[in-house]
Structure 1
Amino acid sequence: MKRVVFERCGEPAEVLETREEPTPTPGSGQVLVRMIASPVNPSDLLYVRGRYTFTPRTPSGVGFEGVGVVETAGAGLGKLWVGRRVCVLNQNGGNWADYVVVDAKRVVPVASDLPDEQVASMFVNPATVLAMVRHVLKVPQGGWLLQSAAGSELGKMVIRLGKRDGFKTVNVVRRPEAKASLSALGADAVICSAEGPIDEQVRAIVSEGVKFALDPVGGETGTQMIRALAEGGKILFYGTLTGEPVCFHPRFLFGGGRRLEGFYLGWWIESQSIFAKISLFREITKLIREGILTTDVGPSFPLDRVREAVQAAEQPGRAGKVFIRPA
């Protein structure tokens, strides 16, 4: 079988390689999955660069989510899933491969009517959106939510969810030409960080500032997002795309009830009960069918062309999510 690995952290297009390896055998409580597709997510690339929430143990595989078919299983629950198409949640990375072994509790059988690409990408972005917006921030109808990186697949999901749930979005993009497509998608307001301080542009739209905000960027963008918070406002930082810290004076937090929190989906999921997890996947499936949490599909690449895939995934203005397709 073929598997994408890296021996050291660095730029993905430089350190990733495709190797021939023996097909693994599942142990007790594990399943062997024949992979169909796996998306190239920002979290995958941060992981390869050594800038993710946890540091890789190299040599390491890549790919936190994907879709495949359970081929065989060791003793235990996994035998129930043999022959089933499943969403594969690989907490250690490794889905960019022909086959992968994971714990049986980390595969989720899925409905036959969902396309492979939607199943492959139904966890990282959709679950993050629902967890942050509905369960952590609890954005109410009529509320204003500010988000950076609004042109990302996750950002577009937030916009569509806002139209469905009745909250309003202020969306930050880096390029002026990205404004029109988000407005057409249903964004209530779109601002460009190159056209002035984010907080000043936000207060021209919502004079008191916003009560809810999401930022995966950090650095100066995250700093300006903090300054856009209203009294009692809360911002969730769920990424560090710039690799730079945010800066603010502690006095900004005095008396205003403003809150700054980090969000990591893996930790949040582990804190939920099994019933809450089942309910979350049902929510995701329903909203994919409604077209709310769908992923725009871009080009696919085989394992042998993984370096091309990661370069394509980081092209500004690319159309749709890039996928690795082992077959």
Structure 2
Amino acid sequence: MKAIVFDKIGLPAEVLQLRDIPVPDIKDNEVLVRTVSASINPGDFLFIQNLYPAPKRPVFPQQIAGNHGAGIIEKTGKNVSLPVGTYVAFSYYNTWAEYVAVPAEWLMVLPAGYPIERAGQFMNAISAWDLLHDSGVQSGQWLALTAGNSSISMMVSQFAKNKGVHVISIVRKMNKTIDLKTAGASAVINLSDLQVNIREQIMEITGNKGLNGIIDNVGGPITGELIRSTAFGAKVIINGGMSPEKFELHNFDVLLNGIEIKSHVYRYFFTPPKKEDVSMLEEIAAVSGQAGFQAPIGGTHALEDFITAINESIHHPGSGKHVFNISDLHS
């Protein structure tokens, strides 16, 4: 089978290679999944550079890249109850390959009609759901999202709109192919065209109420300005760090405004789905699988096109999610 692999730590464009390797054997508790779709995410690059905490570390030689994907069960171990032919998503290892051996406990069953272009990034939908919940923002309140053009921010925005939450989507520049307001945003702040400081803009948009929550995927000075634009008791969720710059705060910026700042580690990073998660996962699939739900795709790629896919993901993250389309759903 074809797979994208690496034999040493380094920058993705420098260490990744496409190789023909054996189809993996499966154990009694595992399934063999024929990969249909696998997304390319910032976390994949952290894994390749060995920046994730243990146990999510590469194992050499010939570590297969990729952490999230979806496909069809082709073969099952003797202790697996799911039948061959089941459509599943998973967050595990080795997803940038034609076949993946996955412990059955890590699988999430998808409805038969779930769109392929969203299946490979189902973990983003789960993260968006969790980010909105963790922000604590309630119906009628205001939530700010940085990296507004990103797939995960757009998913948060749409989940938020369903719950009556007002979203301010913040972008470094507008993407002409994406209409953020049809994807749930009440307002959009384009930093490249901002005429006043961002706090003034936010207070004008919110009627001087301020932000009740922030989900920050970027970092840099803008994060500090957003925190100084909050209502009392707001929560700040740090979900990424696309900017190389730092933000600055005084203790009183946090203390006198009752600010809570926390990090977000995506669900199932360390442990597999629980039985009690099934109804939640079904609800996420039902909402994100609707015809009008937007999860923009910046490009679909064969495994052979991995250099382009990687470079586009790194250098043009605002263009939409890049995914590997590896096989046909019904083949």
| TM-score clears 0.5 | yes
Range with greater deviation from structure 2 (110-119 or 197-206):
197-206
2:150 and 2:321 in contact (8 A); partners too? no
1:61 and 1:95 in contact (8 A); partners too? yes
Are the structure 2 counterparts of residues 266 and 158 from structure 1 closer, same or farther at C-alpha, using a change threshold of 3 Å?
Answer: closer
User: Scaled by the length of structure 1, what TM-score is found?
Assistant: 0.88
Which residue number corresponds to residue 8 of structure 1? 8
The one-letter code matched in structure 2 to 1:74 is G
Distance 2:230 2:307 in 1: 40
The one-letter code matched in structure 1 to 2:70 is V
Which residue number corresponds to residue 129 of structure 1? 128
Distance 1:10 1:198 in 2: 37
Deviation at 1:158, TM superposition (A): 2.2
Deviation at 1:174, TM superposition (A): 0.3
Kindly indicate whether residue 285 of structure 2 is the aligned counterpart of residue 285 of structure 1. Answer: yes
Are the structure 2 counterparts of residues 200 and 5 from structure 1 closer, same or farther at C-alpha, using a change threshold of 3 Å?
Answer: farther
Which residue number corresponds to residue 61 of structure 1? 64
Kindly indicate whether residue 183 of structure 2 is the aligned counterpart of residue 217 of structure 1. Answer: no
Distance 2:204 2:288 in 1: 34
Distance 2:40 2:230 in 1: 32
Distance 1:31 1:129 in 2: 27
2:148 and 2:169 in contact (8 A); partners too? yes
Query: What secondary structure sits across from 1:181 in the alignment?
Result: coil
Which residue number corresponds to residue 188 of structure 2? 190
Are the structure 2 counterparts of residues 105 and 324 from structure 1 closer, same or farther at C-alpha, using a change threshold of 3 Å?
Answer: same
**1:158-201 per-position Cα deviation (integer Å, ceiling 9, x unaligned):** 22223322111111100156698223544211112343543343
**1:216-253 per-position Cα deviation (integer Å, ceiling 9, x unaligned):** 11222322222222211111111122355443121222
Which residue number corresponds to residue 163 of structure 2? 165
Which residue number corresponds to residue 119 of structure 2? 119
Distance 1:21 1:103 in 2: 20
Are the structure 2 counterparts of residues 292 and 272 from structure 1 closer, same or farther at C-alpha, using a change threshold of 3 Å?
Answer: farther
Which residue number corresponds to residue 150 of structure 2? 152
Distance 1:109 1:214 in 2: 28
1:70 and 1:84 in contact (8 A); partners too? yes
Alignment of 1:202-213 (within 5 A): 202-206=202-206, 207-213=208-214
Distance 1:218 1:119 in 2: 28
Alignment of 1:1-327 (within 5 A): 1-52=1-52, 56-59=57-60, 60-77=63-80, 79-90=81-92, 93-123=93-123, 125-134=124-133, 136-176=134-174, 181-194=179-192, 195=194, 197-206=197-206, 207-266=208-267, 270=271, 273-275=274-276, 277-291=277-291, 293-316=293-316, 319-327=319-327
2:32 and 2:101 in contact (8 A); partners too? yes
RMSD: 2.6
Q: Tell me the matched-pair count.
A: 321
Deviation at 1:299, TM superposition (A): 2.7
Distance 1:238 1:296 in 2: 19
Deviation at 1:126, TM superposition (A): 0.8
Unaligned stretches of 5+ in structure 1?
A: none
**1:4-25 per-position Cα deviation (integer Å, ceiling 9, x unaligned):** 1123333322221112212111
1:142 and 1:168 in contact (8 A); partners too? yes
2:106 and 2:272 in contact (8 A); partners too? no
Query: What secondary structure sits across from 2:24 in the alignment?
Result: coil
Deviation at 1:131, TM superposition (A): 1.1
2:3 and 2:98 in contact (8 A); partners too? yes
Distance 2:323 2:272 in 1: 29
1:161 and 1:292 in contact (8 A); partners too? no
Deviation at 1:271, TM superposition (A): 9.6
The one-letter code matched in structure 1 to 2:71 is G
2:48 and 2:58 in contact (8 A); partners too? no
Distance 2:128 2:308 in 1: 28
1:8 and 1:58 in contact (8 A); partners too? no
Distance 2:177 2:94 in 1: 36
Deviation at 1:99, TM superposition (A): 1.0
Distance 1:289 1:20 in 2: 34
2:235 and 2:259 in contact (8 A); partners too? yes
User: Scaled by the length of structure 2, what TM-score is found?
Assistant: 0.87
Deviation at 1:86, TM superposition (A): 1.3
